[in-house]
């Protein structure tokens, strides 16, 4: 699907349903998102979603953001902007490759964590602390749509075990099998752990940084009702990538998180196996994407870093 066609659909939607005109820049990531810039200098994010994203999920996202904002959470949160008909989403009249609805979101001014030049080690601790505050804000929140299954639901990581056969390199396949085995060892204990609605994808790209400070937390499309510890495990899995000493980063983030959230021994015992589970899922999904579209490396850019981190975990004797 050409970018030109997507942009045409997006611009028509903005004009017809939001009364907005402007220019578009396609954002990186697996989803079809555009940054919208108006002649007046305003900015928004327009998300195009397909039929696999239930409409109830946007209601969950809106309710979650409103709840966290009311709690006094210190970061900017991207609220959903209702269209001219007071709806959270807009149906796209010309469906393209399954894309059927659009959602306009407030723009949070900040740099992607990985693009920022102001990263310090203190920000690792801050990321953990802010994730802890976010989880605390959601500790008394619930929504029917949060009780859902999806492919990134960490508690359901075992759904991807059958994808091991897609990994052609025998040594890599064995490494990912080892990671799934670590997850499966603790899977039966997950139902007994504290549960709540979590962010579900607190990776580095979703923490926005400006002037050396974390200013925003974005992307709530994977939010779901899960063991609370899953949010920290997901965060660690991505923040530990591409580092000479991933365990130092894990220690700082965990320290910040536990300054806010008191974790039980049972939760701490499953933390590393859950990290392994998330990395295994990331590798399986990335491998599948690479097979589908090998010329789009942004679609599977977590593949090599996930494999490298898993190998470090295995060498560290995580058995």
The answer on 133 and 101 residing in a single domain is no
Residue 118 sits in a domain of what CATH number?
Answer: 3.90.1200.10
Q: Which of 77, 108, 139 is the last residue of a domain?
A: 108
Q: Which of 84, 108, 132 is the last residue of a domain?
A: 108
CA gap 278, 276 in Å, rounded: 5
The answer on 97 and 147 residing in a single domain is no
Mean pLDDT score, 48-64: 89
The answer on 248 and 204 residing in a single domain is yes
Q: What's the pLDDT tens digit per position in 82-126?
A: 999 999 999 887 666 667 889 999 999 988 887 765 556 789 999
Q: pLDDT category, 35, cuts 50, 70, 90? A: very high
Q: How many CA atoms lie within 13 A of 254 on its CB side?
A: 19
Q: What's the pLDDT tens digit per position in 135-189?
A: 999 999 999 999 999 999 999 999 999 999 999 999 999 999 999 999 999 999 9
The answer on 308 and 170 residing in a single domain is yes
**pTM for the structure as a whole:** 0.92
Contact of 276 with 318, CB cutoff 8 Å: yes
The answer on 255 and 133 residing in a single domain is yes
Residue 100 sits in a domain of what CATH number?
Answer: 3.30.200.20
Number of domains composing the chain: 2
pLDDT at 118: 56
Domain that holds residue 46: 3-108
Q: Which of 108, 123, 144 is the last residue of a domain?
A: 108
- Tell me the CA distances in angstroms from 13 to 30, 43, 105, 134, one per residue in order: 21, 16, 14, 32
Q: pLDDT category, 9, cuts 50, 70, 90? A: confident
């Amino acid at each position: 699907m050409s970018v030109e066609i997507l942009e045409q659909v997006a611009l028509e939607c903005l004009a017809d349903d939001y009364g907005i005109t402007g220019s578009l820049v396609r954002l990186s990531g697996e989803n079809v998102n555009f940054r919208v810039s108006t002649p007046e200098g305003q900015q928004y994010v327009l998300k195009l979603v397909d039929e696999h994203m239930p409409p109830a999920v946007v209601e969950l996202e809106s309710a979650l953001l409103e709840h966290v904002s009311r709690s006094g959470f210190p970061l900017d949160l991207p609220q959903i902007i209702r269209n001219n008909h007071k709806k959270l989403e807009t149906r796209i009249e010309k469906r393209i490759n399954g894309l059927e609805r659009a959602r306009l979101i407030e723009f949070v001014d900040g740099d992607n964590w990985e693009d920022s030049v102001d990263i310090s080690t203190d920000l690792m601790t801050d990321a953990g602390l802010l994730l802890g505050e976010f989880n605390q804000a959601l500790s008394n929140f619930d929504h029917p749509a949060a009780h859902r299954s999806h492919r990134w639901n960490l508690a359901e990581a075992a759904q991807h075990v059958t994808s091991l056969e897609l990994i052609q390199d025998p040594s890599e396949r064995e490494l990912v099998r080892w990671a799934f085995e670590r997850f499966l060892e603790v899977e039966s204990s997950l139902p007994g752990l504290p549960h709540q609605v979590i962010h579900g994808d607190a990776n580095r790209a979703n923490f926005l940084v400006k002037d050396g400070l974390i200013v925003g937390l974005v992307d709530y499309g994977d939010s779901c009702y899960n063991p609370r510890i899953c949010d920290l495990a997901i965060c660690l899995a991505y923040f530990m990538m591409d580092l000479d000493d991933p365990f130092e980063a894990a220690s700082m983030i965990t320290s910040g998180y536990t300054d806010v959230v008191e974790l039980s021994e049972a939760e701490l015992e499953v933390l590393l196996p859950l990290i392994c589970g998330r990395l295994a899922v990331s590798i399986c999904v990335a491998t599948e994407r690479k097979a589908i579209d090998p010329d789009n490396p942004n679609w599977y850019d977590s593949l090599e870093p996930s494999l490298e981190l898993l190998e470090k975990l295995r060498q560290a004797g995580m058995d």
